[in-house]
């Protein structure tokens, strides 16, 4: 199993591979968006512009399935950013890995003598992985969603939002609080566990050598599918939570 290079900076543990991966993912997403809007044209769209128009349409459609269509517009960019960033992040760990082997202790990145002894004198350090295979990254995304949902609920829908903690009966208050805490928690854990398990399985299949090639092909295909589904699921659950907290005044 690979270790990750962890850099101690005061009280913080900074995972260098996560930082590199997040930066690369951000740059790729931004460049993709920028390239697609160069030379915008209605009659003769480029392939990338066509593709991104399809993505915008897709996101708009599934947001409108959760909230009335005249309220969709402000949340379109949030949905687009989430789905593109998470999808590209999920795919980053699949094509290749960067592994450094060491037989000496490297204190600066957290490989101590005890770790070396526990692993039999030979430690492999992975410098590349999907950013979403790190619980800190997915927890950060879930925290953003949590803040957005409750801020919007308080701002746009104050009375109903505060009252819904006591529906249907006031005795349900602890259950509603647990529901409120469990939503971002499961959001973070779902994304992390899916992508992390996929990466561990890739490392395990690689240990088989060349016999594992058909398994690896099949598993890479499945990982692609899972990455897409998890990105879609994160985004649509965000929209459902936003519509539950901030929009449901119209149906009452």
Q: Return the H-helix or E-strand segment holding 6.
A: strand 6-9
1 in contact with other proteins (CB under 8 A):
yes
193 in contact with other proteins (CB under 8 A):
yes
Q: Would you state the structure tokens that stand for residue 243, as one six-digit string?
A: 């519509």
Instruction: Please identify which residue in 196, 223, 243, 247 interacts with other proteins, judged by CB under 8 A.
Output: 196
Instruction: Please identify which residue in 49, 194, 238, 243 interacts with other proteins, judged by CB under 8 A.
Output: 194
Instruction: Please identify which residue in 24, 28, 116, 233 interacts with other proteins, judged by CB under 8 A.
Output: 233
**β-bridge partners, 12:** 9
Contact present, 252 and 245 (Cβ < 8 Å): no
Point out which span in 92-100, 155-163, 226-234, 244-252 binds other proteins (CB under 8 A).
Answer: 226-234
What whole-number distance in Å separates Cα of residue 103 and Cα of residue 112?
Answer: 11
Instruction: Please identify which residue in 75, 87, 146, 192 interacts with other proteins, judged by CB under 8 A.
Output: 192
26 in contact with other proteins (CB under 8 A):
no
90 in contact with other proteins (CB under 8 A):
no
241 in contact with other proteins (CB under 8 A):
no
Per-residue DSSP letters for 13-79? Answer: EEEHHHHHHHHHHHHHHHHHHHHHTTT--SSS--HHHHHHHHHHHHHHHHHHTTS-GGG-GGGHHHH
Instruction: Please identify which residue in 230, 241, 242, 243 interacts with other proteins, judged by CB under 8 A.
Output: 230
């Amino acid at each position: 199993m690979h270790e990750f290079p962890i850099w101690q900076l005061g009280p913080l543990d900074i995972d260098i591979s996560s930082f590199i991966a997040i930066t690369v993912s951000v740059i790729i997403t931004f460049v993709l968006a920028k390239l697609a809007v160069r030379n915008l044209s209605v009659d003769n769209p480029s392939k990338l512009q066509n593709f991104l128009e399809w993505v915008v349409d897709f996101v708009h459609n599934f947001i409108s399935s959760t909230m009335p269509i005249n309220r969709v517009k402000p949340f379109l960019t949030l949905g687009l950013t989430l789905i593109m960033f998470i999808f590209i992040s999920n795919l980053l760990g699949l094509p290749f890995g960067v592994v450094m082997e060491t037989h000496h202790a490297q204190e600066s990145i957290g490989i101590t003598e005890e770790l070396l002894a526990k692993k039999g004198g030979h430690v492999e350090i992975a410098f590349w992985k999907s950013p979403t295979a790190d619980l800190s990254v997915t927890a950060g995304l879930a925290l953003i969603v949590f803040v957005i949902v409750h801020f919007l609920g308080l701002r746009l829908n104050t009375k109903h939002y505060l009252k819904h903690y006591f529906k249907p009966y006031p005795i349900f208050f602890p259950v509603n609080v647990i529901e409120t805490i469990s939503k971002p928690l499961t959001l973070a854990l779902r994304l992390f566990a899916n992508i992390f398990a996929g990466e561990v399985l890739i490392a395990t299949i690689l240990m088989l050598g060349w016999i594992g090639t058909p398994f690896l092909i099949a598993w890479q295909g499945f990982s692609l599918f899972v990455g897409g589904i998890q990105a879609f699921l994160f985004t649509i659950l965000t929209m459902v939570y936003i519509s539950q907290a901030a929009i449901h005044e119209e149906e009452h």
